[in-house]
């Protein structure tokens, strides 16, 4: 995909509208615009660069704040006049210090953020971390914890205690994510498996 592939005759000032989406949470972070130079720099450097309409120049998101947007994937829309970039943000995206420029629910799809944290713990194995402790103990211990949390979740459901059920279900999901990471799998693999079964 190159900048010439886009149909920009109907776009304002010939600039390509670009939607940024968090690759982990799928939260829409911001909208910006690119000219050819901004697009090419983004592709070459792997960090999102926009063309500022107000300043009339290129700006790499995070060049002053350190809150870069690291490109994971780029998807043109069906009309080839808009670009979606899935990115991993380094800190807040909005100049207000918020996660996104859109004030949607802050913790939507937090499970993706949790998975990223678990993966980082597995990679770095920091001392004093409960997640590190689980990975150190291995698959048998992690699987045992998943079983224990599943039983506790079922007990609270049968008792009709929604507050306790939610607490135990949270423990179950966390430990299941740790087990998935231990098995080299993630949420995306679960989603793909479930999608295969959906009819």
Burial class (CB in 10 A: 0-12, 13-18, 19+), 20: buried
Q: What is the pLDDT of residue 31?
A: 95
Could you give the CA distance from residue 167 to residue 180 in angstroms, rounded to a whole number? 20
Could you give the CA distance from residue 19 to residue 44 in angstroms, rounded to a whole number? 19
Q: For 144-192, write each residue's pLDDT tens digit.
A: 999 999 999 999 999 999 999 999 999 999 999 999 999 999 988 998 9
Q: What is the pLDDT of residue 58?
A: 93
Strand partners, 21: 28, 86
Write down all domains in the chain, each with its CATH number in brackets. 3-89 (3.10.20.810), 110-197 (1.10.287.1080)
- Give me the residues of the chain with pLDDT under 70, please: 10-12, 105-108
With vertex at residue 162, the alpha carbon angle to CA 157 and CA 164, rounded to the nearest 5 degrees, is: 85
| pTM of this structure | 0.65
Q: What is the pLDDT of residue 100?
A: 86
Q: For 85-94, write each residue's pLDDT tens digit.
A: 999 999 988 8
Q: Which structure tokens are listed for 9?
A: 């005759």
Q: Helix H segments across 46-186?
A: 110-124, 130-137, 139-159, 162-182
Q: What is the pLDDT of residue 108?
A: 63
Tracing tokens 């009819």 back to the chain, one arrives at 199
Strand partners, 88: 70
């Amino acid at each position: 995909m190159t900048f010439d592939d886009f149909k920009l005759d109907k776009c304002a000032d010939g600039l390509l509208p670009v939607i940024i989406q968090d690759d982990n949470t799928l939260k829409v972070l911001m909208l910006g615009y690119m000219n050819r130079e901004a697009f090419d720099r983004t592709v070459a450097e792997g960090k999102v660069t926009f063309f500022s309409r107000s300043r009339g120049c290129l700006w790499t998101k995070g060049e002053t704040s350190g809150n870069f947007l690291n490109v994971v994937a780029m998807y043109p829309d069906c009309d080839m006049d808009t670009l979606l970039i899935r990115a991993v943000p380094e800190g807040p995206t909005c100049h207000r210090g918020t996660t996104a420029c859109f004030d949607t629910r802050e913790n939507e799809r937090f499970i993706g953020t949790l998975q990223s944290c678990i993966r980082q713990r597995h990679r770095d194995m920091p001392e004093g971390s409960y997640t590190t402790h689980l990975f150190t103990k291995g698959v048998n211990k992690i699987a045992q914890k998943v079983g224990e949390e599943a039983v506790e979740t079922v007990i609270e459901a049968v008792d009709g205690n929604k507050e306790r059920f939610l607490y135990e279900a949270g423990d179950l999901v966390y430990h299941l994510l740790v087990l998935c990471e231990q098995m080299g799998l993630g949420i995306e693999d679960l989603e793909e498996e479930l999608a295969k079964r959906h009819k």
